[in-house]
Chains A and B, each alone.
Chain A
Amino acid sequence: MLGAEVTFDVAIPKIIWGWLVSTNMWAKSIATGTFLVGLYFVLKYPEKDNFFRKWIPILGLIFIGITLLVTILDLHHMLRFWKIFVHAHFTSAVTLGAWIVSGFVIILLISFWSWASGNRKLFNRIMIPGFILAFFSTIYTAGIMGQATGREIWIFPTEMVSMLLSATLAGSAAFLFIDRLYRYVLDDQIRRELGYILFSSAGLMSALYIGELYFARMHTEFSYKVVKILAFGDVAPFFWLGFVFGLIIPMILVGIAVEKRKGSYAFLGSLSALIGLWLIKHAWLTAPQHLPLS
């Protein structure tokens, strides 16, 4: 007996979660990343923290708004989204995420009011709950992916690290981008540190993805086939362009920017990182959906 082939079957769905969910993860990385990275600078440089006290809530609210918008747009019953609060099922990472992000939105609104009213103490009071909610807002999607039992390439601990690195990459890139738009308002040392964060996040994420390409395929037959789709299949252009634009080019450009003190390189590096991050997230989300589960 040789190979086997399906000769009769119904049409089965392929992409269930598509670009709206990729955009959700991408925008959430920016919203939570700017909070987590910004908080570090507020604490480390309290005398130079005006930039961060202003841009943490503004960027946070814009991108968490995009996150919530695409999440609701992706629902097939958009007007029933409120049921997640009145019929909450807390074994679901989706439910936990909805509640945590709602808390994070409140934190961002308070941060915005703190900046708008000049009440610095108010922001200081919400730093700890803000950190906790931003942290869990970042990683809950890893929980959802971990609960997707059939997609064996999504493993919770790795996804969690990947989400955190995406947040630090996106957060530092967003601040470098804004810094350039306002003609370098940041202190040189802060800009260098943002570069280090972006560089190390991109470096660690590269190692994570390359590690997955080499090692995940050894775990299960499913993972083996997903890695083939990622590296050589339908989503390979997204994956490799995302890898180069999101991780390699930013490391090179930001590395040069930090060493040679050239702000324009950091700007291009951060722009490339933000574009590439979406591409690689989209590839990682859709690749396991290309395989039939039954």
Chain B
Amino acid sequence: MKLGFLVDLSRCIGCMACAVACKAENDVPLHSWRLRVKYIDQGEFPDVKRHFVPLRCNHCENAPCERICPVSALHYLPNGIVNVDHDRCIGCASCMMACPYNAIYLDPVTNSADKCTYCAHRIEVGMMPACVVACPTHANIFGDLDDPESEISKYLKSHRDVMVRKPELGTKPKHYYVRGSTVALDPLASERPEGFTLFTEVKFLDHIGGH
């Protein structure tokens, strides 16, 4: 079994239900996110387009975070999920430095690294990840990549415009995007000016973790 995720970006309406469900399910503290949805506006009025991009851990087959973790706190589960052992983590932040997708955070409450685990605790009892259940447009498609009859396998087979983030790094992500674009998936393809926008303040955090 090799679990994977697929987001059909043409279906995503940017409602954040997935992000909220993830926070509630996993008790993610303030200023920390396992899953977030980024809005990118492209173009100039009246020729404009808004991209919604849900971002979470890519559960790479060749995960840099797993390789650099000095104590194996980040480890593979047999189903391909890259999991975190909070009790073993020493809080060195190497995984945050190694992850090319900025998917790991230091939990300010536990002081340990944390990230999306594809809701491993739910999968264990036969449930779907919280974000999949919450999505009103079924943009999140989750399943076994090794099973040719699974929805994700069929989706991947029937679509030619499947993308992953930063394929050139050789991390072999198990998180796919359909109907994506460079603007949506490459963080350097868009400007990220700090300051207040129509919705919120776009900014960088000065401090991470709890010290």
Contact = CB atoms under 8 A, between A and B. Distances in A.
Interface of A: 1-17, 74-78, 80-81, 83-84, 87-89, 91-95, 98, 144, 147-151, 221-222, 225, 291-294
Contacts of B161: none
B120 interface: no
Contact of A84 (B70, B100, B105): B70
A17 B183 CA distance: 28
In the A-B complex, the 4 residue pairs with the closest CB atoms = A76-B91, A150-B100, A8-B39, A4-B190
Secondary structure dominating the interface of A: loop
Contact of A4 (B88, B100, B166, B183): B183
B38 A16 contact: no
Given A12-B205, A88-B70, 14 more contacts: A3-B191, A4-B43, A5-B191, A6-B202, A7-B40, A7-B198, A76-B106, A80-B88, A80-B90, A94-B68, A98-B70, A144-B94, A147-B98, A221-B188
B47 interface: yes
23 contacts: A1-B49, A3-B42, A4-B190, A5-B40, A5-B192, A5-B193, A6-B192, A7-B40, A8-B39, A10-B36, A12-B204, A16-B96, A16-B208, A75-B92, A76-B210, A77-B111, A77-B112, A80-B90, A149-B99, A149-B169, A150-B102, A291-B187, A294-B102
B91 A8 contact: no
A149 B100 contact: yes
Interface in B181-201: 183, 186-193, 197-201
A1 B44 CA distance: 7
B68 A6 contact: no
B15 interface: no
B101 interface: yes
A1 B43 contact: yes
B93 A16 contact: yes
Interface of B: 14, 31, 33, 36-44, 47, 49-51, 55, 64, 67-72, 88-94, 96-103, 105-106, 111-112, 165-166, 169, 171, 183, 186-193, 197-206, 208-211
A292 B187 contact: yes
B112 to A, nearest CB: 7
Contact of B204 (A11, A76, A98): A11
A10 B44 CA distance: 24
Given A4-B189, A76-B91, A87 B71 contact: yes
Nearest to A90: B70
B191 A80 contact: no
Contacts of B90: 75-77, 80-81, 83-84
Nearest to A225: B188
B169 A7 contact: no
Nearest to A73: B211
A6 B38 contact: yes
B205 A93 contact: no
A291 B188 contact: yes
Contacts of A74: 92-93
A80 B103 contact: no
A8 B15 CA distance: 12
Contact of A148 (B42, B50, B98, B201): B98
Contacts of B205: 11-14
Contacts of B37: 8
